[in-house]
Amino acid sequence: MNSRYKSVVKIKEKMYKESDIPNFTTLFEKYKSLYNGIDQTILKQTNFENSTDLEKLKTQFNFADIKLRLAFAIKEIKLREDYVISKEGDLKLCHLMLYKFNDLWFAYEAFKRLYNIQNGPPDIQSNVVWLGLGTYLSYFNLSEIQSALGRANFELLQKFHSLLKRQCLKNYIKYCISEASGSQKRRLSKIECKIQTDRTIFEFQMTDFLTLAYAIRNNFVHNGESTVTTPDLEYSEKKDLLIILYELIAVLTLRVTQKMIEDRIGEF
Per residue in 17-68, pLDDT (tens digit) is 999 999 999 999 999 999 988 888 877 776 777 778 888 888 999 999 999 9
Beta bridge partners of 200: 196
Q: Which of 111, 110, 101 has its CA nearest to residue 213? A: 101
* Structural domain span for residue 140: 23-265
pLDDT score at 14 = 58
Can the peptide bond before residue 122 be classed as cis, meaning omega within 30 degrees of 0? Answer: yes
**Per-residue pLDDT tens over the stretch 188-216:** 999 999 999 888 999 999 999 999 999 99
At 13, is the pLDDT very low, low, confident or very high (cuts 50, 70, 90)? low
Has residue 18 been placed in a domain?
no
Q: Which helix (H) or strand (E) holds 200?
A: strand 200-201
Does 7 fall in a domain?
no
Domain count, the chain: 1
CA 195 – CA 32 distance, rounded (Å): 39
Dump pLDDT digits (tens) for 130-171.
Answer: 999 999 999 999 999 999 999 999 999 999 999 999 999 999
More confident residue, 266 or 144: 144
For residue 84, pLDDT beyond 90: no
The four Cα atoms 110, 115, 117, 119 give a dihedral, to 10 degrees, of 180
Q: Is residue 231 part of a domain?
A: yes
- Asked if the structure places residue 4 within a domain, the reply is no
254 closest CA partner among 139, 176, 133: 139
Distance from C-alpha of 102 to C-alpha of 168, rounded to nearest angstrom: 22
Entry pTM: 0.90
| Structural domain contains residue 179 | yes
17, part of any domain: no
Q: How many other CB atoms are found less than 10 A from the CB of residue 173?
A: 23
- Mean pLDDT for 229-235 is 80
More confident residue, 223 or 162: 162
Contact (Cβ atoms closer than 8 angstroms) between residue 215 and residue 184: yes
Residue 150, in any domain of the structure: yes
Helices 235-265 and 89-119: crossing angle, nearest 10°? Answer: 20
Please check the confidence at residue 6 and state whether its pLDDT lies above 90: no
Average pLDDT, the chain: 89
- Residue 237 and residue 152: Cα distance in Å, rounded? 15
Please check whether residue 122 lies inside any domain of the structure: yes
| Cα gap 249→255, rounded to integer Å | 10
- Contacts of residue 257, defined as CB under 8 A and 6 or more positions apart, other chains included, come to 31, 64, 68, 111, 114
